[in-house]
Amino acid sequence: MNYMEEFRRKSVTALEAVKIVKSGDWVDYGHFLNAPCFLDEALSTRVGELRNVKIRAVTFPGIAAVASKDPNRRCFIYNNWHFGGGDRKLHDRGLCNYIPLVYHEGPGLYDRIDTDVLMVSVTPMDKYGYFNFGLSNSIIRKVAEKAKKIVVEINSHLPYCYGGYNENIHISEVDYIVEHCDKPLLNLAPPEPDETDKKIASIIVGQIENGSCIQLGIGAMPNAVGRMIAGSDLKDLGVHTEMLCDSFVDMFEAGCISNREKTINPGKMVYTFALGTGKLYEFLDHNPACASYSVDYTNNPDHISCNSRAISINNAVEVDLYGQVSSESTGNRQISGTGGQFDFVYGSYHSKGGKSFICLSSTKRDKQGALKSRIRPFLEHGTTVTIPRTITQYVVTEYGIADLKGRSTWERAEALINIAHPDFRDELVREAEKAGLWIRGCSRDVSDLRQTG
């Protein structure tokens, strides 16, 4: 069947397409690099005309025009499931609200919430009438099923990514098509790892066995782990991850990844979204070694745990002496989101031979340049708990690794103080004593802790 007649009939300009939005509507944007940047700009021109249009996005690349052009939020109320850099800036200006989410639950939430319009960036239509979601499968298929109206903008820069499932939408489901939205894709080069990142990465790589199934989070340190694996003699690794990043390409090209020993989806690198540089996007285009799935599949803890020796590697902002982990906020300031960290920490631990690692440098500099410990007696006031103490397994700094599973509160405190920066260990011991976490008869002296690492 030739779908070009339907394609021509549904093709409109961006300004015409956004007329579909009415006051009071809930509008969902495509996620990550499938954000509808042209439609967002077009919708923002209706400032003053619309009222109370609520928008949901995920890690919008850049700054959403609907938020920045409506500083009083009378027309558009912009919300986000997981912040990127632009979303953080909007949040700091009071123009973006965070929506708490455990990522694998995302599609199921749309059985409980309404959406009126979906706007999403897609690949050009294939001969069978399908548009591909490309780099961001995520929750989009479920949103499309729930939305009353669907508008797609076509970006020929998006790679065509094989599924899996839920990676496509058919022209028969689409109300409007906007062409020529060929904005170059955001190239997110991983930060260059410093010596601390490399030290932490070396500790983690020493914990990985041949045949392990790898998940990496975003940031310099997880990418440092990937690079180090690529230079190691590890082999027959598998991939079941939330985000696919450049270091997976490095590992694949180095011959470390075969996916042969995976229990589910053998032979496939499984992911739900990809974010990195052109190297990654070119690698994914029509690559049968990779499979894009919706997030209720990739991040389902039961699916994660099906693969033996699942390894989860994620960053954190701070950890307290109870083992509570914050990876998304500093005090009341939202930085990112829960995302899939909880999913993979929990799922990896329940995998046969699996391990989950929470990684962070032992210190950071505050705005005044003062050195602060990232292992704290208690999380900073207002800080969100991303991983509860009951779920945390391994915590890693440049000073070593702490295994918290099955440990009492005093054992946890001791293990975490042992991997804190030596300059802060005395203070941490004093605070632990005040909180009743420190039992001197069972723990080593502070002088012993100072010498560790």
How far apart CA 258 and CA 235 sit, in angstroms, is 8
The answer to whether residues 60 and 50 touch, using CB atoms and an 8 Å cutoff, is no
- Which of 60, 71, 66 minimizes the C-alpha distance to 25? 66
The answer to whether residues 153 and 64 touch, using CB atoms and an 8 Å cutoff, is no
Give the list of residues 6+ apart from residue 403 with CB closer than 8 angstroms, or none. 393, 394, 415
Beta-sheet pairing, 333-334 with 329-330: antiparallel
Active site residue 16: no
Give the list of residues 6+ apart from residue 145 with CB closer than 8 angstroms, or none. 110
414, containing H or E segment: helix 409-418
- Which of 314, 289, 291 minimizes the C-alpha distance to 303? 291
- Reading the block at residue 344, the tokens are 């993979």
Strands (E), 353-426: 355-359, 363-365, 371-373, 375-376, 394-397, 400-403
The answer to whether residues 151 and 178 touch, using CB atoms and an 8 Å cutoff, is yes
- Phi, psi (degrees; rounded to nearest 5) at 53: -90, 120
Set 153, 167, 242, 318: catalytic member: 242
> Which DSSP string corresponds to 343-370?
HHHHHHHTSTT-EEEEE--SEEE-TTS-
The answer to whether residues 412 and 321 touch, using CB atoms and an 8 Å cutoff, is yes
The answer to whether residues 204 and 223 touch, using CB atoms and an 8 Å cutoff, is no
205, containing H or E segment: helix 195-205
Q: Is 335 exposed, middle or buried (0-12, 13-18, 19+ CB in 10 A)?
A: middle
Q: Which residues of 107-134 are buried (b: 16+ CB within 10 A; e: fewer)?
A: bebbeeeebbbbbbbbbebeeebbbbbb
How far apart CA 379 and CA 300 sit, in angstroms, is 28
Catalytically active residues are 242
